C-alpha cells in the first residue's frame, strides 16, 4: 500500500499519514538532486485509529439476585394402626321343645312304661305320708323376740309438736323416710314441716340427726318412695299439693310439684302412690287421693311441673248399689277418699277407702264420665265398680294382699279390721283390735297370713291368721303414754324390719322375730282356703 | 305315640301334680307341660343334680344305682325318675288345693 499511496491519489488522512511516513525514508535523504547511498532504516510501528469503525463497547452493570430465604418447619406424621374387630351377640335362642317325631318313640315309650308304675306309686305314698308333717328346717339363726333397733326423731320437728304422719322405705330397703305434720288440725295451718330420712344401713347412724332433711312449707300427710329410684320420694301436703323430692340433692331437693292450679286437690292429700306408666315400665306416675273425692294421676314434665294425665272423681250417686248405704245421695256430693291400695296382680285395679267407711273396688280403665262440676283440665271419670259393706266409721287404711288376688284389709276409726274378698260385699272376717281408732294396716310382704295394724292406743299389733284369728300374736308397745301410732311400713328388702311412726314424732324401727320373716310351708294354701270361704 | 301321650296324661292328672317334664340324656326337654322358661330352668338345674346324685350312689357302691330322687322344699316337691336315656321330672305340690 505504501507504493500505491505514493502515486498521488487522495487518500483518507489516515493512510495519507502512512504514505508520508512510508516515503519518509526516501524523502529524508539529504537533499534533492543529489543521489545518496541507499540505506535501510527501520522505523517504529505507527498505528492509526479508525474513524469509521466504532468500537463496540461493553456496558457493564452489576446486578445480583437472591431468593427469599425458605422457611422450614419440622412436622412429623404417623399413620395409626387400625385393627377392625367385630363382636356380635346372638339373641338367645329360646330352647324349643323337640317335637316328638324327632325322637326315638319306641324307646321313649319303653322308658315311660317302665317308670310309670314307680312314679304313680311314689305319688300315692307321698300323698298319704305324714313323714314330714311339722318338720321345718331353719337355715338361719332364730330370733325369738321383737326388739326395737332404732328410735329415730328430728328434734326441731318434735319441738313443734309435730306427729309422724307418713313413713316409707326406699327401693333398696336401707333408707326410711318420715313425714311430719299434724293429723288433728281442723283448719288451715301455716306450719312448716319436714321430711326426714335416715339410712339404717350406715354405720354411724345418729338417731337425732337424719341423713337428709327437707323443709316443706305445709304439713306433709303422706309419703311414698319411688319403686326403683332410691332417692326420689313423693309427698302429699295439707294444702292439696303433691311434691316430689330428690333426697340426694341437699341444696335443692324439690324435683316436681303440682302447684296450686285448678287441677290440684282442694283438700289435704290422704295418700300418694307410685304407678308404672302403661307401656313404659321404667317410668312412673304419681297417683294422689284426697278427701275432696278426686283420684288424680300426675306425670312429671319438663321444668319441675307435675301435669295431670288422668283423673277420677267419686260422686255419691255414681257408686254401685251393691250394698245398702246409710246416706241417701242428695245432689252431687263427693265422697272423700282416705286411702288407696293397688292390687299386686292386676295393675289397673285398686281399692279406695272412703270417709263413709265403705271400701270401693275401682279400676283405672273405667270409662264412664263423673257427674261432677269440679274444674279439671282432663275429663274426670267415675272409677267405682263395687261397693263393699261399710265400717262403723271412716276408713284410714287399706292394703291388698301380695299373695292372693282377691283379698284386702281395711281398718278404720271403729277400731275394726275387716278382711274382704273382692268377690263379695260383706267382709270375710271382722276383728276388733282396738277401742280407739286404727290408723294403719299393712300385709306382711313375706308371710301370706300376717298383717300389722297401728292403733290409737300406742301399739303395733301383729296378727298371724295361722296361729290365732282372734287375738294378736305380738303386741308391740310403741309409745309409753298411749299416744297413737299413725303409720307403719314393712321393709320388703330386709324383711325383718318394721318401721312405725307415732304422735310424739319418733320413728321406731322394730326387728321382728324369725317367725315373721319366712314363709311357712303351708301358708299359701291356707290363704287360699281362707279366701275360698266366700259365703254363697 | 298314643301310648306315650296317655302315660304322660295319667301322671299329669294325678292328684297334686303341677307339671311333668321328660328330658333326654343331654338334658334337653323332650316333653313338658310347663311353660318354656320354667321348663328350661328346671331341666338345666335338675339335670346336673340328678347326675351328681347318680354318681354319688354309684361311688358309694358300684353295684348300686339311683332309682328315684325327691327334693322337698317349703312350697313344692320335685320328683325325678331317672333312666338311661331320659329323666322324668315331676314338679308337684305336696298339699291339697281346694277347688
- Alpha-carbon radius of gyration of chain B: 14
- DSSP-derived letter for residue A171 is T
A96 within domain boundaries:
no
What integer pLDDT is reported at residue A132 of this predicted model?
65
Domain range enclosing A469: 147-323+330-532
Q: Do residues A171 and A227 lie in contact, with contact meaning Cβ atoms separated by under 8 Å?
A: yes
What is the reported pLDDT for A272?
92
What residues of chain B lie within 8 A of the CB of A109, using their CB? 1, 3-4, 7
pLDDT for residue A410: 92
Average pLDDT score over residue span A375-397: 86
In the predicted structure, residue A398 carries a pLDDT above the cut 90: yes
The pLDDT, as a whole number, for residue B93 is 55
In a domain, A60, yes or no: no
Residue A133 and residue B65 in contact, taking contact as beta carbons nearer than 8 Å: no
CA dihedral of residues A192, A246, A202, A489 (deg, nearest 10): 70
* Rounded CA separation A326/A390 (Å): 9
Establish if B58 touches chain A: CB-CB under 8 angstroms: no
B39 touches chain A (CB under 8 A): yes
Q: Do A127 and B15 lie within an 8 Å CB cutoff?
A: yes
Grid cell 316333653 — which residue? B31
Go through A38-53 and write b for each residue having 16 or more CB atoms within 10 A of its CB, e for each that does not: eeeeeeeeeeeeeeee
Consecutive H or E run containing A116: helix A105-128
**% of chain A at pLDDT higher than 70:** 83
Q: Which of B36, B81, B98 sits opposite A118 (nearest CB)?
A: B81
> What's the Cα-to-Cα distance from A459 to each of A440, A475, A498, rounded to whole Å?
11, 7, 13
For residue A14, the tally of other CB atoms under 10 A from its CB is: 15
DSSP, collapsed to helix, strand or coil, labels residue A107 as helix
C-alpha Rg value of chain A to the nearest Å: 54
CATH number at residue A259: 2.130.10.10
Please name the residues in contact with A481: beta carbons below 8 A apart, sequence gap of 6 or more: A458, A504
Identify the contact set of chain A against chain B, taking CB-CB distances under 8 A: 94-98, 100, 103-105, 107-109, 111-116, 118-120, 122-123, 126-127, 132, 519-522, 524-525, 528-529, 532
Angle (CA) A496-A498-A499 rounded to 5° is 150
B66 to chain A, any CB pair closer than 8 A? The answer is: no
* Contacting residues of A for B3, CB less than 8 Å apart: 109, 112-113
Mean local confidence (pLDDT), B74-98: 64
Select from A119, A524, A529 the Cβ nearest to the Cβ of B11.
Answer: A119
Return d(Cα A253, Cα A247) in angstroms, integer.
6
Answer yes or no: is pLDDT of A133 > 70.
no
Percent of chain A with pLDDT over 90: 11
Q: Looking at residues A54-78, what average pLDDT do you find?
A: 83
From the CA of A514, how many Å to the nearest CA of chain B?
Answer: 16
Rounded to an integer, the average pLDDT of A425-429 is: 86
Instruction: Give pLDDT tens digits for A513-534.
Output: 877 777 766 677 777 777 777 5
pLDDT on residue A28: 47
- Interval A46-74 mean pLDDT: 82
Chosen for mutation from A96, A109, A115 (greatest number of chain B CBs closer than 10 Å) is A115
Comparing CB atoms, the residue among A111, A519, A529 nearest residue B86 is: A111
pLDDT band at A292 (very low <50, low <70, confident <90, very high): confident
pLDDT at B99 over 60: no
Tell me whether residue A115 is in a domain: no
In chain B, the percentage of residues whose pLDDT exceeds 90 is 9
Is A359 inside any structural domain? yes
pLDDT confidence of B89, banded at 50, 70, 90? low
pLDDT in tens, B60-74: 999 988 888 888 877
> Across the interface, do B68 and A118 touch by the CB < 8 Å criterion?
yes
The complex's ipTM works out to 0.72
Q: What is the pLDDT of residue B95?
A: 39
Minimal Cβ distance to B1: which of A105, A127, A524: A105
pLDDT at position A225 is: 92
| pLDDT at residue A470 tops 80 | no
Task: For residue range B13-68, list pLDDT tens digits in order.
Answer: 887 788 888 888 777 888 888 888 888 888 888 888 888 999 999 999 999 888 88
For residue B57, the model assigns a pLDDT of 93
Closest Cβ opposite residue B36 in set A94, A100, A118: A94
Q: What is the pLDDT of residue A253?
A: 86
Q: How close is the nearest chain A Cα to the Cα of B47, in Å?
A: 15
Relative to beta strand A305-313, strand A380-381 is parallel
| Residue that the C-alpha cell 326423731 belongs to | A153
* Cβ–Cβ gap A113/B3 under 8 Å: yes
Are the beta carbons of A223 and A269 closer than 8 angstroms? no
- pLDDT of A8 above 50: no
Give the residue-averaged pLDDT of A258-277.
87
Sign of torsion over alpha carbons A160, A163, A169, A174: positive
Q: Does B97 touch chain A (CB under 8 A)?
A: yes
Q: Report d(CA A287, CA A148) in Å as an integer.
A: 33
B39/A97 touch (CB, cutoff 8 Å), yes or no: yes
Residue A304's contacts (CB-CB under 8 Å, 6 or more residues apart) are A254, A255, A256, A257
pLDDT of A19: 44
At A308-363, the pLDDT tens digits run 888 888 888 778 776 666 555 555 677 888 899 998 888 889 999 988 888 999 98
For position A142, what pLDDT does the model report?
A: 61
Residue A503 has pLDDT above 80, yes or no: yes
The tens digit of pLDDT for each residue in A213-249 reads 888 888 888 999 998 888 899 999 888 889 999 988 8
Q: Are the beta carbons of A488 and A479 closer than 8 angstroms?
A: no
Containing A15, the helix (H) or strand (E) segment is helix A13-22
Q: Note the pLDDT of residue A536.
A: 41
Longest CA pairwise span in chain A (Å): 196
Question: What is the per-residue pLDDT for B88?
Answer: 67
CB contact under 8 A, B24 and A114: no
Name which of A119, A124, A136, A530 to mutate to probe chain B: the one with the most chain B Cβ atoms within 10 A of its Cβ. Answer: A119
Least confident of A7-16, A74-83, A152-161, A230-239: A7-16
Put simply, the answer to whether A100 touches B74 (Cβ < 8 Å) is no
Q: Where are the alpha helices (DSSP H) in A328-384?
A: none
**Residue A2: what pLDDT?**
45
Q: Is the pLDDT of residue A34 over 70?
A: no
Give me the pLDDT at residue A449, please: 85
pTM above 0.80, yes or no: no
- Test mutation, A98, A105, A112, chain B, max B CBs within 10 A: A112
Mean pLDDT of A362-375: 82
- Number of domains within chain A: 1
Q: Please provide the average confidence, as pLDDT, over all residues in chain A.
A: 80
Query: Which positions in chain A touch B77 (Cβ < 8 Å)?
Result: 126
Judged by DSSP in three states, A221 sits in strand
Of A476, A451, A455, the residue nearest A465 (C-alpha): A451
The CA distance from A289 to A298, in Å, is: 11
Contact assessment for residue A409 and residue A422, using Cβ atoms and an 8 Å cutoff: no
Higher pLDDT, A126 or A536: A126
Q: Which domains does chain B have, with CATH numbers?
A: 1-93 (3.30.450.30)
Rounded to an integer, the average pLDDT of A448-454 is 88
pLDDT band at A25 (very low <50, low <70, confident <90, very high): very low
Chain A residues with CB under 8 Å of B67 CB are: 118
Amino acid at each position: 500500500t505504501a507504493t500505491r499511496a505514493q502515486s498521488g491519489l487522495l487518500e483518507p488522512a489516515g493512510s495519507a499519514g502512512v504514505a508520508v511516513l512510508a516515503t519518509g525514508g526516501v524523502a529524508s535523504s539529504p537533499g534533492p538532486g543529489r543521489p545518496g547511498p541507499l540505506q535501510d532504516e527501520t522505523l517504529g510501528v505507527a498505528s492509526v485509529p479508525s474513524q469509521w469503525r466504532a468500537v463496540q463497547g461493553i456496558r457493564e452493570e452489576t446486578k445480583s439476585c437472591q431468593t427469599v430465604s425458605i422457611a422450614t418447619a419440622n412436622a412429623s406424621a404417623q399413620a395409626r394402626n387400625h385393627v377392625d374387630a367385630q363382636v356380635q351377640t346372638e339373641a338367645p335362642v329360646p330352647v324349643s321343645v323337640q317335637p316328638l317325631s324327632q325322637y326315638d318313640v319306641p324307646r321313649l315309650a319303653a322308658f315311660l312304661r317302665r317308670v310309670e308304675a314307680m312314679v304313680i306309686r311314689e305319688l300315692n305314698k307321698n300323698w298319704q305320708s305324714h313323714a314330714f308333717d311339722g318338720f321345718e328346717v331353719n337355715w338361719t339363726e332364730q330370733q325369738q323376740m321383737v326388739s326395737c333397733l332404732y328410735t329415730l326423731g328430728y328434734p326441731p320437728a318434735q319441738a313443734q309438736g309435730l306427729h309422724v304422719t307418713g313413713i316409707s322405705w326406699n327401693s333398696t330397703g336401707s333408707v326410711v323416710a318420715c313425714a311430719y305434720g299434724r293429723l288433728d288440725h281442723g283448719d288451715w295451718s301455716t306450719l312448716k314441716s319436714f321430711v326426714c330420712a335416715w339410712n339404717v344401713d350406715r354405720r354411724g347412724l345418729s338417731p337425732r340427726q337424719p341423713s337428709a332433711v327437707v323443709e316443706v312449707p305445709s304439713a306433709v300427710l303422706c309419703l311414698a318412695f319411688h319403686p326403683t329410684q332410691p332417692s326420689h320420694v313423693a309427698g302429699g301436703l295439707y294444702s292439696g299439693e303433691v311434691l316430689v323430692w330428690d333426697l340426694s340433692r341437699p341444696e335443692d331437693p324439690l324435683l316436681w310439684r303440682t302447684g296450686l292450679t285448678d287441677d290440684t286437690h282442694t283438700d289435704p292429700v290422704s295418700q300418694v302412690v307410685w304407678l308404672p306408666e302403661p307401656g313404659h315400665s321404667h317410668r312412673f306416675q304419681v297417683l294422689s287421693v284426697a278427701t275432696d273425692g278426686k283420684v288424680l294421676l300426675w306425670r312429671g314434665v319438663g321444668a319441675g311441673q307435675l301435669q295431670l294425665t288422668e283423673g277420677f272423681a267419686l260422686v255419691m250417686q255414681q257408686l254401685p248399689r251393691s250394698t245398702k248405704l246409710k246416706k241417701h245421695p242428695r245432689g252431687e256430693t263427693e265422697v272423700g277418699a282416705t286411702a288407696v291400695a293397688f292390687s299386686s296382680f292386676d295393675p289397673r285395679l285398686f281399692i279406695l277407702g272412703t270417709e263413709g267407711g265403705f271400701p270401693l273396688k275401682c279400676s283405672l280403665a273405667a270409662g264412664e264420665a263423673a257427674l261432677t262440676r269440679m274444674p279439671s283440665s282432663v275429663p274426670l271419670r267415675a272409677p267405682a265398680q263395687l261397693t263393699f259393706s261399710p265400717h262403723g266409721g271412716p276408713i284410714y287404711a287399706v292394703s291388698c294382699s301380695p299373695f292372693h288376688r282377691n283379698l284386702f284389709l281395711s281398718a278404720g276409726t271403729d277400731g275394726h279390721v275387716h278382711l274382704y274378698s273382692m268377690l263379695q260385699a260383706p267382709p270375710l272376717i271382722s276383728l276388733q283390735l282396738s277401742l280407739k281408732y286404727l290408723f294403719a294396716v299393712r300385709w306382711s310382704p313375706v308371710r301370706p297370713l300376717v298383717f300389722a295394724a297401728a292403733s290409737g292406743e300406742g301399739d303395733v299389733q301383729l296378727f298371724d291368721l295361722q296361729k290365732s284369728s282372734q287375738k294378736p300374736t305380738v303386741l308391740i308397745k310403741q309409745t309409753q303414754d298411749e299416744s297413737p301410732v299413725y303409720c307403719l311400713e314393712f321393709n320388703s328388702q330386709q324383711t325383718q324390719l318394721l318401721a312405725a311412726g307415732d304422735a310424739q314424732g319418733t320413728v321406731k324401727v322394730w326387728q321382728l322375730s324369725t317367725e315373721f320373716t319366712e314363709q311357712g310351708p303351708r301358708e299359701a294354701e291356707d290363704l287360699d282356703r281362707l279366701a275360698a270361704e266366700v259365703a254363697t | 305315640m298314643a301310648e306315650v301321650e296317655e302315660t304322660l296324661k295319667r301322671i299329669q292328672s294325678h292328684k297334686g301334680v303341677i307339671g311333668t317334664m321328660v328330658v333326654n340324656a343331654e338334658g334337653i326337654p323332650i316333653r313338658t307341660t310347663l311353660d318354656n322358661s320354667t321348663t328350661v330352668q328346671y331341666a338345666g338345674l335338675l339335670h346336673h343334680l340328678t347326675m351328681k346324685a347318680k354318681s354319688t350312689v354309684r361311688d358309694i357302691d358300684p353295684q348300686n344305682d339311683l332309682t328315684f330322687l325327691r327334693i322337698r322344699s317349703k312350697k313344692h316337691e320335685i320328683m325325678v325318675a331317672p333312666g338311661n336315656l331320659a329323666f322324668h321330672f315331676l314338679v308337684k305340690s305336696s298339699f291339697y288345693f281346694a277347688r
